Chain A
Amino acid sequence: MRLMKRIETEAIVIGGGATGAGTLRDLTLRGVRAVLIEKSDMASGTTGRNHGLLHSGARYAVNDLESARECIRENKILKKIARHCIEDTGGLFVTLPEDDPSYHGKLIEHCKYAGIRCEEISVQEALRIEPNLNPNILAALRVPDGTIDPFRLTSANVLDAQERGAIVLTHTGVSGVIREGDRATGVNCRDRRTGEEFEVFGGIIVNASGVWGQELCASAGIALRMFPSKGSMVIIDYRINNVVVNRCRVPSDGDIVVPGDTVSLIGTTSKKVDYDKIDEITVDQDEIATLLESGEKLIPNVSRTRVLRAYCGVRPLIAVSGEMDGREISRGIVLIDHEKRDSVGGFITIAGGKLMTYRLMAEMAADLACAKLNLKKRCRTRTTALPGSERKLDQAKSVKFFTGIPNSVVGSTLYRHGQRIRNILHRDKRNYGLICECEMVTEGEIEYALKKLNAKDIVDLRRRTRIGMGPCQGQLCAYRAAGLFVKYDSATSTESNKMLVDFLEERWKGIKPVLWGDALRSVEFCYWIYQGLFGLGDVKFPEEGEDR
């Protein structure tokens, strides 16, 4: 009989979103041995499905002062420790003619309570800052909003932890919690790519699996009810604004336009969903219509710009009691010691909150985990910069350093990886050949993502590099990336063919809700290449393991 593989560690973190990755890093920085288990890819759940706003907290100031205060505190910390994941764009709150003008004054007052710098500016000044803004606005406020890339942020947390010795298992599902008496001591795992089953044991289990935590808790005999609420967004094919534009009113659907990388994004809707539907939610046509209509009111150019894709995420709110609307429930952080609540030792849950407060949540979870392990170690994440953000690199100096490599390549690599650009580009120009022209992703960046950033397939690679996220949505680069997985021994030829299908199907999910105009043209071309020229849909894949 083959013995089942068994991993022993101090702490087990379940869930590879920002909170799980942050907790792993926090524990590792305190010297705790830790293992992270994620059923899919890092930032593939709720973390990667929001609008990428670096909140100033102003959005919450009127309704939820506590959240607003958390936001502005974390905003200031992240600008220091995660600078390569952030663009300090600034943000505006603008009042449209149909909006209640009194909200403007209320917001100024509450921002003061929360400690958020909120400056009243003239309409003229707002239009100078953001020329694409609707010129009919009545009033404008400036707040320290920015943008944050959730993929980069999560990946940088994991990278730091791994470089300090943590173990990261992506594409690994937890099938159940192992209990010994009144304690949870480990988890049963299954590698979803190889089918291998194994166990991980540790002194403390941190459940950071967000909305999916309900099932995990159930397997440990703990009743925890999540309250899933769907948020949908659309992505516009150009960066049509430079600063975050918020609508100055009581939070509602479609009241924010966030720039990010090469695109802009209109968010968000809020719809209640049943828990058993969380893995199959899709964007509805009425949501797309609402978002485009509202986005156009803020920035009229929206109606003349191609819509690239639409997607949705599930907010991980924990139901307190009764039936409530998704917006009214607090976005507050929930930390549960299941020893106290349910008499199950060695198991804690960190949930609720938001991307903005991931670090604070991680700190809270790691504090409790260390207390449970009887370790007295201080949190260091408030001041320790993430890999890539240690020093601020000047773009002009980097361009000079890499003389001979196109400025656009240097600029994009620096933008995405900060100081780690030195691990990707080489002065002898090796590996700077472009693979994705839309987002200027080089072969060197892909090699780095495959070897250092746990990219196991092309969908993962997209989250590390933005490959396939530009206007063409992966028409040429997807095939090239599949070839590079073989070249760098990261997949067999059969696996590469299969991941090409999976990648195109994954891109299709976000494109089909917005399939008109140039999106349809682009799809016709893409389908022509991969089916008409390649016959990819006709490739027969062998049963698992046949080619290994």
Chain B
Amino acid sequence: MRYDCVIIGGGLSGITCGIRLAEKGASCAVISTGMSALHFSSGSIDLFGHEGEGKTVFRPFEFLDDFIGSNPLHPYARCGSSQIREALFYFRDQLGREDIDLYNNDDANHFHVTTLGTLKPTFFSQRSVFNEKIRQAFEKKSKIAALNFEGYRDFYPELAVINLKRNILFRNIEIISGKILYPDYGDPRRNPFEYRSIDIARIFDTERYLEDLAAQIRAAAGDAAFAAMPAFLGITNFKRHHQLLQQLTGLLIYEIPTLPPSILGMRIDNALKSRFAALGGVYIAGDTVKSGTISGGRLESVYTENGGASALGAGNFVLASGSFFSGGLVSEFSRVREPVFGLRVHSDAERSRWYAPEFFPRDGHPFLEYGVETDERLNPLTDDGQRIANLYCIGALLPHYNPIREGSGGGVAVSTGYRAAELILAGN
């Protein structure tokens, strides 16, 4: 098989890149080993949340204008400020076509509440996490009902409320808690279901339970204006059912990102795959690229685990295989390597410097900033210093940024994915 472009990795960056390429008419294949890291994400797209000293960034684009100049190796510097903006709003439009509405607070960050009741600055969130009405209700200090689902093991409102109450923004907001039950639950003593978010999302996706669930939410919320719930309000029928629940209850129904699996992230993952397919992209799931043929500074073809000896050829390739967690980087007793092509990696030779002494360090863990070195065009080098001109590295595989400390993972994935597509399109 031969494509215009083969993308290795089907996460946020890889598939964003694929959508842009496919939309412009390129024949495109995405090869994905397994689950996208979106399934473990908050489901919001962070752009830049915290500066070096841990200070909150309120206006990320203004911040980036300066930041890029003084951090030339940062992935954002490979994209440039105007293309980052272009990429993000392109991404929002594409998701909009798949019925996922992303909201932003104009050019400023907004904050979403975490499972533990801390606030995280982010740029785009889904309608159920942030929108104008939620902001207004919040500014009016409306009463909030934090509701959980009986049998859901992954949310304990008490742990969140105490931290929220300590935040000045919530100090004068009344928060009550309550529970809703699976309508077919029966005697809860005899049926201690072990729900994960995905199980409950399926219940909310089911038409026949909606009225019952709405009545329970209404009753549990009392005179609150908000009902805040862990993000489990459905996947496939989310948009319609969320609106219906709000109509039936007269409440603003708000979601809090949960422990994995992340329903908010899965909605985005599904939408991206659907959009990619609609544009004619080929999504090869459950296969892993093992090696490639490099000749004259170009990657000619790749071999996959399932493909055996048959090669996949393409004019351009994109490596979006993620960080350690996704297998894009591999660490051994005393080195870090890129497993598919043996690309040159930025890391430290001394393992004791890979990590900070505390688990929650102020400056983050160094290993999070390791990755494949690239030039300005996102092209990597082989271990012996040869540049591969038609291979582009994007997303969490890239070094010189700390997605967790900065709050920049989603933004880097989307911008570098888009950037690689633009470079490929410009080259042809």
Contacts and interface: CB of A to CB of B under 8 A. Distances in A.
A282 to B, nearest CB: 10
Interface in B182-199: 189-194
A480 B115 CA distance: 12
B162 A476 contact: no
Interface in A412-450: 428-435, 443
A497 B360 contact: no
Contacts of B225: none
B359 A505 contact: yes
A521 B159 contact: no
Contact of B360 (A479, A483, A507, A531): A531
Given A504-B359, A521-B324, A525-B325, A432 B332 contact: no
B116 A435 contact: no
Contacts of A483: 155-156, 158-159
A542 interface: yes
Most B Cβ at <10 Å: residue of A433, A434, A527: A527
Nearest to A484: B156
A288 B358 CA distance: 20
Nearest to A509: B359
Interface stretch (A39-47, A161-169, A462-470, A510-518): A510-518
Q: Interface extent on A, as a size class?
A: 35 or more
A542 B119 CA distance: 18
Interface in B20-48: 40-42
B135 interface: no
Nearest to A517: B331
B64 to A, nearest CB: 20
A539 interface: yes
Contacts of A531: 360, 404
Contact of B404 (A476, A520, A532): A532
Interface stretch (A324-332, A347-355, A373-381, A486-494): A486-494
Given A480-B153, A516-B351, A537 B360 contact: yes
A232 to B, nearest CB: 16
A515 B351 contact: yes
Given A433-B192, A493-B161, A532-B404, A524 B368 contact: yes
B114 interface: yes
Interface string B87-127: 00000000000000000000000000011101110000000
Given A430-B192, A516-B331, A521 B325 contact: yes
A507 B360 CA distance: 12
Contacts of A101: none
Contacts of A534: 114-116, 118
Interface string B360-403: 11000101100000000000000000000000000000000001
B162 A494 contact: yes
A264 B191 CA distance: 36
B331 A525 contact: no
Contacts of B189: 428-430
A479 B358 contact: no
B422 interface: no
Nearest to B166: A540
Contacts of B352: 285
A482 B404 contact: no
B116 A497 contact: yes
Given A493-B159, A547-B162, A520 B324 contact: yes
Interface in B146-170: 151, 153-156, 158-159, 161-163, 166
Contacts of B331: 515-517, 520
A533 B259 contact: yes
A476 B156 contact: no
Contacts of A520: 324, 331, 354, 367
Nearest to B193: A433
B355 interface: yes
Contacts of A521: 324-325, 327
B192 A524 contact: no
B122 to A, nearest CB: 11
A429 B159 contact: no
Contact of B118 (A431, A539, A542): A539
A501 interface: yes
B315 interface: no
B42 A434 contact: no
Given A516-B351, A517-B332, A528-B325, A539 B190 contact: no
A542 B351 CA distance: 36
A476 B259 contact: yes
Interface residues of B, number: 54
Contact of A535 (B114, B259, B409): B114
B116 A536 contact: yes
B365 A527 contact: yes
A67 to B, nearest CB: 36
Contacts of B354: 515, 520
A433 B151 contact: yes
Nearest to A526: B359
B346 to A, nearest CB: 16
A273 interface: no
Contacts of A138: none
Contacts of A525: 40, 325
B159 A496 contact: yes
Contacts of A286: none
Contacts of A479: 115, 154, 156, 159, 259
B156 A482 contact: yes
A280 to B, nearest CB: 12
Nearest to A404: B190
A432 B259 contact: no
A99 B391 CA distance: 53
Contact of B116 (A428, A527, A535): A535
A276 interface: no
A438 B42 CA distance: 24
B257 interface: yes
Contacts of A482: 156, 159
A530 B115 CA distance: 10
Contacts of B334: 516
Contacts of B41: 533
A486 B355 contact: no
A543 interface: no
B404 A528 contact: yes
Nearest to B195: A433
Contacts of B120: 535
A127 interface: no
B199 to A, nearest CB: 13
A279 interface: no
Contacts of A507: 359
Contact of A524 (B259, B325, B361): B325
B358 A508 contact: yes
Nearest to B333: A516
Nearest to A482: B159
B222 to A, nearest CB: 21
A508 B361 CA distance: 12
Contacts of B360: 501, 504-505, 530-531, 536-537
A426 to B, nearest CB: 9
A323 interface: no
A473 to B, nearest CB: 11
16 contacts: A285-B351, A431-B192, A432-B192, A433-B194, A479-B156, A479-B259, A484-B156, A486-B156, A493-B162, A512-B355, A515-B331, A524-B325, A524-B368, A528-B40, A531-B360, A534-B114
Interface of A: 285, 428-435, 443, 476, 479-480, 482-484, 486-487, 492-494, 496-497, 501, 504-505, 507-508, 512, 515-517, 520-521, 523-525, 527-540, 542, 547
Q: Lowest 6 CB-CB distances: which A-B pairs, in order?
A: A483-B156, A537-B360, A535-B118, A493-B162, A508-B359, A534-B116
Given A434-B153, A443-B192, A494-B162, 7 more contacts: A429-B189, A430-B192, A496-B158, A505-B360, A515-B367, A524-B367, A528-B404
